[in-house]
Amino acid sequence: MCGIIGCVGRRGDTLDTVVHGLSKLEYRGYDSAGVALVDGDDLHVVKKSGELDALRSVLGGGLEGSVGIGHTRWSTHGPPTDTNAHPHRDCTGDVAVVHNGIIENYQTLRDELGAAGHSFQSDTDTEVVPHLIEDELAAGSSPETAFRAAVARLEGSYALACVVAGTERVLVARNDSPLVLGLADDATFLASDVPAFREFTDRVVYLEDGEFAELDADGWTVTDADGVAIEKSVHTIEWDAEETGKSGYDHFMLKEIHEQPRALRQCLRGRVDELGGRITLEELGELALDRVHLVAAGTSYHAALYGAELLRSSGVPAYPFFAHEYATSPPPTEDALVVGVSQSGETADTLAATREAQRRGVETLALTNTVGSTMARESDHVLYIRSGPEIGVAATKTFAGQQTAFNLLALATAPPADARELIAALRDLPSDVQQVLDESTAEAVADVYLDSDAYFFIGRGLHYPVALEGALKMKEITYEHAEGFAAGELKHGPLALVTADTPVFATVTGDGEQARKTIGNVKEVEARDAPVVAVTDGRSDVERYADHVLEIPESHPRTAAILSNVQLQLVSYYTAAKLGRSIDKPRNLAKSVTVE
């Protein structure tokens, strides 16, 4: 959370470049935004609470500078006000700093600096940094030495960028918060994430924890804490800048829902040998799954629940854990593979869990969307879901990508008896998702239930994670009360919540025992006058008990849980759109949660 950007080398264009970068990073936080530009001996800082447009409205013209940094904030210390917005400055106004992360010892530092006469403007942890630098500069240090000395005092997580009046350079440090450099012929960038500068270059350098960087007109250098130069590899980004635009859709979320057929094709490409009835995941080599622990948060946790169920039904003992709990109370892990499931590969809770596993010598696998992310780099193995950039805060195509990747992992390591049928279903999955998107009546259903008291989602087996995910999507983008339940649990308590004003979305596919039992639960809510929306492939008679039906094509039971989720994504999207919610930037949320 929080996005930072910096650039050197775009004189005349620096402000526009920084603000453009912030627009691409807003998914990381949108409580406030700000910029700092060095113009010779002057340092200009402009910042404003609210979304980026609020900053744009106060920027005006005439702000010059050859070196710039910017920040978009997701509040951790102090409310989203103008003064708490970054960049933060020292007492002289000559040092400006932007920060993503949490400085854990800030109170001690603040007390110490306050006692020495420094005056603070904000409630943030970040503000101690420019004041520490100020002291070092006053003692005669160069800006680079002052920055290093200040960083050495910090405990916690940080991606930091600093500019000092009179120096045409950006100073950078990283610990536990993502940072990547972008290398263009005429400019050098730094950012929390690649979309911030993808328009200008596809060449990047990922910084590691404990590394420092300096960007100036001559280029860039990366050093360790002692100032020793580090040789870094330059990577090439394989997706285009256009992929981070809305392509004519009203919202990124809707665009990303519609991108699912393509995202799933990418996930499957080169990995499925239908004739041979085999899956090849070259990146995993001979990896054996004797016992698996899956650690994740939010939507990725729902994917982990789904993945664990798949693996268990193929005979592999696999258990999902909330990452934050796994990190602090890890279960016994002998011979387990720990799989970190994370779209971003930067979620602090999930990284803490995989790091705890590594600390105990346990093998790790990252199942992630983000090439070069911290989790991808730190894990022993990586399985990319290849969904392409996801900008909407609500995860959609990447959940489908995670579900699909789990199918590949299960097929490759513990193929079910009906592996050939599943492989055929995976082959058809992108076009089946397209059919759902083309024929869905979710918008009309959303219209009918706009004034509901609450929305409930039920499912059994592989549809249970889908019920949880349906409810999470609904609550995060509509701000309405929504809950997901294992269908069989309804009668053990939640049924008390069910009324004529609480529609129940039931996912029922196939015509087996699970379908029959879930239909029993549907009858229970129907008897309490609750409206029922059935998501179904039409193979059972659930339609008889439903007020509305959202159809999906017949598929394998494992892939049916991917298709049914698409219908629920659309219901949430259209409900939020009709309620006029901020769909891509829901209140209080950020896409990438890089604090624990």
Which residues are annotated as catalytic? 2, 591
Rounded to the nearest 5°, which phi and psi values hold at 414?
-150, 70
> Minimal distance in Å, beta carbon 425 to ligand F6R?
25
Considering beta carbons, is residue 36 or 352 the nearer one to ligand F6R? 352
Report CA-CA distances (Å) from 540 to 514, 544, 550, 553.
11, 9, 13, 13
Angle between helices 128-138 and 106-115 (to 10 degrees): 50
Do residues 323 and 295 lie in contact, with contact meaning Cβ atoms separated by under 8 Å?
yes
Considering beta carbons, is residue 289 or 593 the nearer one to ligand F6R? 593
Considering beta carbons, is residue 555 or 592 the nearer one to ligand F6R? 592
> Minimal distance in Å, beta carbon 66 to ligand F6R?
35
> Minimal distance in Å, beta carbon 584 to ligand F6R?
11
Q: State the Cα–Cα distance between residues 450 and 452, nearest whole angstrom.
A: 6
Helices (H), 60-211: 106-115, 128-138, 143-152
Q: State the Cα–Cα distance between residues 565 and 507, nearest whole angstrom.
A: 9
> Minimal distance in Å, beta carbon 500 to ligand F6R?
29
Strand partners, 551: 536
CA angle 152, 154, 160 (to 5 degrees): 90
Q: State the Cα–Cα distance between residues 321 and 353, nearest whole angstrom.
A: 9
Considering beta carbons, is residue 266 or 342 the nearer one to ligand F6R? 342
Local structure of residue 11 (DSSP, 8 states):
T
Q: State the Cα–Cα distance between residues 168 and 306, nearest whole angstrom.
A: 51
Strands 548-551 and 532-536: parallel
Considering beta carbons, is residue 148 or 473 the nearer one to ligand F6R? 473
Cβ burial of 390 (10 Å; 0-12, 13-18, 19+) is: buried
Considering beta carbons, is residue 367 or 533 the nearer one to ligand F6R? 367
Helices (H), 153-293: 252-258, 260-268
Length of the chain: 596
Sheet holding 381-384, edge to edge: 318-322, 291-296, 336-342, 364-368, 381-384
Q: State the Cα–Cα distance between residues 225 and 173, nearest whole angstrom.
A: 9
> Minimal distance in Å, beta carbon 293 to ligand F6R?
16
Strands 455-459 and 482-486: parallel
Contact positions vs ligand F6R (CB under 6 A): 297-300, 342-344, 347, 350, 394-395, 472, 476, 592-593
Q: Which residue is listed with tokens 């932007």?
A: 98
What amino acid is encoded at 327 in this protein? A
What amino acid is encoded at 338 in this protein? V
> Minimal distance in Å, beta carbon 304 to ligand F6R?
10
> Minimal distance in Å, beta carbon 472 to ligand F6R?
6
Considering beta carbons, is residue 133 or 323 the nearer one to ligand F6R? 323
Q: What radius of gyration, in Å, describes the C-alpha atoms of the chain?
A: 25
Q: State the Cα–Cα distance between residues 303 and 401, nearest whole angstrom.
A: 9
Report CA-CA distances (Å) from 275 to 59, 422, 424, 427, 560.
60, 13, 10, 12, 22
Position with the least CB separation from ligand F6R: 298
> Minimal distance in Å, beta carbon 358 to ligand F6R?
17
> Minimal distance in Å, beta carbon 297 to ligand F6R?
4
Considering beta carbons, is residue 168 or 476 the nearer one to ligand F6R? 476
Considering beta carbons, is residue 522 or 593 the nearer one to ligand F6R? 593
